[in-house]
Amino acid sequence: MKIKKKVIQLIIVAIVAFCGYFFVNEDDFASGIVPVNNIQKTNLKEKDYVNMHCKGTIEYVLPDKTRIDCLTDEYAIEYDWASKWAESIGQSLYYAKMTGHKPAVAIIMKTPQDEKYIKRIQTADERITVFKIKAYELP
């Protein structure tokens, strides 16, 4: 019986290690960041965060029918999940060019580890203002 229990434990450890290999970014290991288990479980969608935080016009439609998530007097803001950081850069720059406003992104962070995506945006283009939305801190 003890051997069977040990084999089952070994299989479970192998499965967990196998899953961790595919779901943890290698950048996390290189920077010493350890994955967290306190991910905010929420049913909120991107548009919910736009509605909660935008202090301007929501879903402003450009002549080419593209939509700016939030247009303020100063910024053309693209809201997106942190893991979609690269897409947000292009959209914010395009919207800024089309409106004459400053480019900005509102990045919705699920964990503190999403900070790495903020750094990537800032490295890619210093003109883009980044607003952080820490979903993991919301009630």
Q: Model confidence over 21-56: pLDDT tens digits?
A: 333 343 433 333 333 344 444 578 999 999 999 999
Rounded CA separation 22/37 (Å): 16
| pLDDT at residue 19 in the model | 44
Q: What length is written for the chain?
A: 139
- Count Cβ neighbours within 10 Å for each residue of 55-79 and write b for 16 or more, e otherwise: ebeeebeeeeeeebbbbbeebbbbb
> In whole angstroms, how far apart are CA 72 and each of 47, 49, 57?
16, 16, 6
Rounded CA separation 103/111 (Å): 24
Rounded CA separation 3/77 (Å): 59
pTM greater than 0.85 (yes/no): no
| pLDDT at residue 136 in the model | 83
Tell me the residue type at 68: I
| pLDDT at residue 43 in the model | 76
Give Cβ neighbours of residue 20 (< 8 Å, ≥ 6 apart). 35
- Ranges under pLDDT 50 in the chain: 13-14, 16-41
